[in-house]
Structure formats: C-alpha cells, structure tokens
Copies of this chain bind each other. A is one copy, B any other.
Amino acid sequence: MISFSTIIGITAGIGLFVLAIISSTDNYMMFLSLASAMMVVGSTFAASLISFSFMEVMHAIKAMFQTLSAGRTSQDHLHALVKRFVEFSRIYRDGGISSLEDCLTDKEKNDQSIGLGIELMGSGYKQQDIRVIMGDAMDSHWQRQSLEGKILNTMGVYAPGFGMVGTIVGLIIMLDNMGDDMANLGKGLALALITTLYGVLLANLLFKPTAAQVTEKQEQEYFRNQLITDGFVLLSEKKDALVMQDRLNAYIKPSKRYSVVDSDE
C-alpha cells in the first residue's frame, strides 16, 4: 500500500522548490549541475561507507525507499491484535497448544514475533522464559533495525557538510582567479553555492525526514512487539479473556480499545 502522505510530501517539497525557481528566473537550467550533484551525493555516500559497512548502508537506503509504502502500526492494527489475543486465550484454555497452532493464519505464522511466541509455547517454556527470550529477541531486533535510522541521520549530517566543502572549493578557485576577470565574480559565486543548496535540500527533504519516519516506524513496531510479548506471557499464565483484554487494551488509545462485550453483540 502506498503512503500518500510521503508521496504528497515529496511532490509538494520538490514542486514548491521548482516553482520558486521557475517563477524567479528564465535561466533555470543553471540549477542543474551533474558535477555538483555527483560531488555532494557521492561524497555523502563515500563517508557513509567508511562509517558503516556496505550491507548496512544498502539496508538504510532500502528503508529510505520503503517510506514510500505505508507501513506504520496503526491503532486499528493494535485493536485487531488485542481482539486476536482474546481469541487466542479462549482457544488455548479450551484446546491447548495444538488448537492454538491450528488457528493461526499464514500471515501470523510468518510474523516474526507471533511465530516466535507460538514456537516457545509449543516448546513448553514457562512465562518467565517467554518474557526473557521474547524480550531479548525484541531488543536485538531493535538494535539491528535502529541502525537504519542512524545511518540516514548521519547522511543528513554529511550532505550539508560536503555541500559546504564544494562551495569552499568553488570559492577558492573563484577568488584565486578574481584578479583576471571581475565580470565573472557573480557567476562563480552562483556556481559555488549550488553544492551548498544540494546538500541542504538533500538533508532537509530526503535524509532527515526519512530518518524520522524510519525511526518512528520502528518505535511503533517495538511497541507492538511489547504488546505481543505481554500477550504470550498472559497466554502461558492461562489468564482468562477479560484479563487479556484489559491488560492489552492499556497499549491502545481509549477510543480504539477492544471490548469482548461490544463485539459479541
């Protein structure tokens, strides 16, 4: 599913920028410079490769493109999860672990957190072990994932830095030649500033916003995994459906809370 807000944001951001340029000058081609773009993007990428491994940087860039598809954990999703766990608690109290395993949809079986929880219950672990193992898995998942947001943020710091490097190089060349040809002073300065513009734009329209979204997504996923961990711990304690509902509802917005009574009617 496509994330409309990301698409709208990118379109509006670039559109406003292009409009601002076209409405102010006829010589808008001057704002396109392959050499400047290569320098800023290339150096940012190069510095990222020194900071992190190739695979890590690739994952971060993949995560950047994935912000185009809606993937956030909505309150509706959490509501459905609570409902499902309430069902689980009934099925498990009635038919044991085998009924529980049978009732899972394919999507649930392939879900990392739910799959792990079912597997641990099938192996007969007690509540304390389930909490420790699912907690460790959740934390190590978070540690691996959070690197993506960190890399995008780092790129958002390098990009304006290398934009400034490009401008200083341009300034030095221009100033060195100043004696010969005063007429080109303005044009030289204009050219030198293009890399700063690219760097700031890349940081503010691409790296920083996507870093924020990736991080936010992962925080919501972490939160969802806490709910699932709590759910499995309660399951293994054979708590009844109402306790399950009340405990897990605490993770949701009041207006989205699941109620057995409402939904049974």
Q: Which A residues form the contact surface with B (CB < 8 A)?
A: 3-6, 8-10, 12-13, 16-17, 20-21, 23-25, 27, 30-31, 35, 38-39, 42-43, 45-54, 57, 67, 70, 72, 112, 116, 120, 123, 125, 129, 132-137, 140-141, 143-144, 147, 154, 158, 161-162, 164-166, 168-179, 183-187, 189-190, 193-194, 196-197, 200-201, 203-205, 208-210, 212-213, 216, 219, 223, 242-243, 246-247, 249-254
- The residues of B that contact A133 with a CB separation of less than 8 Å are 246-247, 250
Q: Is the interface of A mostly helix, strand, loop or mixed?
A: helix
- The residues of B that contact A161 with a CB separation of less than 8 Å are 200, 203-204
- The residues of B that contact A38 with a CB separation of less than 8 Å are 16
| Chain copies in complex | 5
A250 touches B172 (CB 8 A): no
A35 touches B54 (CB 8 A): no
Can you list 15 A-B contacts with CB-CB less than 8 angstroms, sorted by A residue number? A9-B50, A12-B49, A20-B39, A20-B166, A24-B170, A47-B209, A51-B216, A120-B246, A133-B246, A137-B249, A143-B223, A154-B212, A164-B200, A165-B200, A179-B186
Sort A-B residue pairs by CB-CB distance and give the 6 closest, nearest first: A178-B186, A9-B49, A50-B209, A13-B46, A136-B250, A51-B212
